[in-house]
Amino acid sequence: MSRSTRLLDLIQLLRTYRRPVSGSALAQRMGVSIRTLYRDIATLQAQGADIQGAPGFGYVLKPGFLMPPMMLSEEEIEALVLGARWVAARADDELKDAARNALAKIAAVLPADLRHEMETNSLLVYNTRNLRLGTVDFPAIREAIRQGMKIDIDYADVNGQPTTRRIWPFALAYFEETRVLAAWCELRNDFRHFRTDRFTTMTLTGIRIPRRRDRLLAEWRRAHNVTQDM
């Protein structure tokens, strides 16, 4: 048996256990040495499997590695597909792929009739307006927001010279034709909004933002009286 099929089998085997299993038991079931079993576990963990092991205990696969079956109503499917299509039409390529992949994964765990509903959904999105986005690397921005990392940008203000600022990005707002990065600005020591088409450069610093993203977002909402109820 090749290693790749063995890894798939190992996941399935782990899924059948509710209580911890020892590595040697798994190794015996898979017909490999204990050393190889440890390597297989490590590989699966590297791929995102939440396998917990403790000395003297054994292994358990925490749920959340594979998608469980789901039920959605027809209208919920319509909403998801429509939203994903807007993302595909309007966001960057990486997010577009992510939307496609998300729908495909959801479709795979829906019952057949709903999957058909999803595939033949006919709510379409067309955009006629041009986006003015600048040359910014949006995946990098989203990454920085997710990871809570400071970034440096050169920003051309409306009335003034371009300035270099270190900011703490926490939200990205999608408007019809532009996108605006909401951040805490170290230069101004306050919240500031940056239109992405006015960036000239952007550098990830790798420095952690000392505040939690959701806290910054909540504070910013209070400060600007902005609400978005989803």
Among residues 48 and 160, whose Cβ is nearest to DNA? 48
Q: Give the shortest CB-197-to-a copy of itself separation in angstroms.
A: 16
Name which of residues 164 to 223 contact a copy of itself (CB under 8 A): 170-176, 213-214, 217
Task: Report the Cα 51 to chain-centroid distance in Å.
Answer: 21
CA triplet 219, 204, 160: central angle to 5 degrees?
70
Among residues 118 and 153, whose Cβ is nearest to a copy of itself? 118
**Binding status of residue 72 toward a copy of itself by CB under 8 A:** yes
**Binding status of residue 48 toward DNA by CB under 7 A:** no
* 42 contact choice in a copy of itself, DNA, none (CB below 5 to 8 Å, kind-dependent): DNA
Site string for DNA, 51-90 (x = CB under 7 A): --xxxxxxx-------------------------------
Q: Which of 15, 28, 29, 35 binds DNA (CB under 7 A)?
A: 35
Other beta carbons within 10 Å of 125: 14
- Three-state DSSP state, 176: coil
* 165 contact choice in a copy of itself, DNA, none (CB below 5 to 8 Å, kind-dependent): none
* Burial label, 196 (beta-carbon count in 10 A; 0-12, 13-18, 19+): buried
Q: Which of 9, 13, 17, 43 binds DNA (CB under 7 A)?
A: 43
Q: Specify the amino acid at residue 36.
A: T
For β-strands 162-174 and 179-185, DSSP reports them as antiparallel
**31 Rama class: left (phi>0) / alpha (psi -120 to 50) / beta:** left
> What is the C-alpha separation between 47 and 57, in angstroms, rounded?
23
> What is the C-alpha separation between 37 and 15, in angstroms, rounded?
16
Name which of residues 73 to 112 contact a copy of itself (CB under 8 A): 73-80, 82-91, 94-96, 98-112
> What is the C-alpha separation between 99 and 91, in angstroms, rounded?
10
Q: Which of 30, 36, 45, 115 binds a copy of itself (CB under 8 A)?
A: 115
Q: Give the shortest CB-205-to-DNA separation in angstroms.
A: 30
**Binding status of residue 139 toward DNA by CB under 7 A:** no
Among residues 38 and 191, whose Cβ is nearest to DNA? 38
